[in-house]
Amino acid sequence: MAVRLAIFDCDGTLVDSQADIALAMEAAFAAHALPPPPRAAIRRIVGLSLGEAIRQLAPHASADTASGLVQAYKDAFRARRSAGMVEEPLYDGIAALIAELDAAGWMLGVATGKSDRGLAHCLEHHGLTGHFVTLQTADRHPSKPDPAMIEACLDATGGTRAMTVMIGDTAYDMAMAVNAGVRAIGVDWGYHHADELVAAGAEAVAGSVGELRLLLKGLEA
């Protein structure tokens, strides 16, 4: 029997990282004597690769300034992590769901705008690393909604498009799934509204981890 593959976004799907992202982004803009973007604008770009996020938040910045903002964000986030200030709490019920899916024979992956280092820290902190067989990040792929991360997950696992589902909280995740030809399930506890997820291609939007569990169980039939 073919094995099913569930690919999860990280920020806004597995963990609530918006506060840490916003604080690091504000520090990056302050380092360049630029006014910080509104928190609502920062929330909108969570999930994109860092370079694309900066382009959207500072569309008129020169190439040098944009590059400097990217590095300043990395420095600010790394400093916060080194100081033990990064929290990125798991959403309630996520750890149990991941363990259940793994035990039920699903292959699990992550496709995220985080860096390799950031994702590794996050999963290790929450004791989830061993559940995932493929980890794809913005370090090695174009930004969502380009399908490259999902394509890499399929290549790494031998999964089929018909038996693969992308789970995420943003329109970028849903559009990436559509572009890759896999199923898309949204979650409404993250950073984009449910109607945006549906418009971008979600076949369903879970309002809780319990609902997500039921939706995924329905795919096992």
Active-site residue numbers?
Answer: 9, 11
Cα(10)–Cα(134) distance, rounded to whole angstroms? Answer: 13
In which element (H, E) is residue 165 found?
A: strand 164-168
Distances, alpha carbon 214 to alpha carbons 70, 135, 178, 198, 218, in Å: 39, 24, 22, 18, 6
Burial degree of 218 (CB within 10 A; 0-12, 13-18, 19+): exposed
Question: Are 181 and 7 within 8 A, CB to CB?
Answer: no
Which residues does 144 contact at the CB level (< 8 Å), separation at least 6? 47, 48, 49, 111, 113, 170, 172, 173, 175, 176
- Count helices and strands in the chain by DSSP H and E runs: 10, 6
Q: At what angle do helices 94-103 and 209-218 cross, to 10 degrees?
A: 20
H or E, element range at 28: helix 18-31
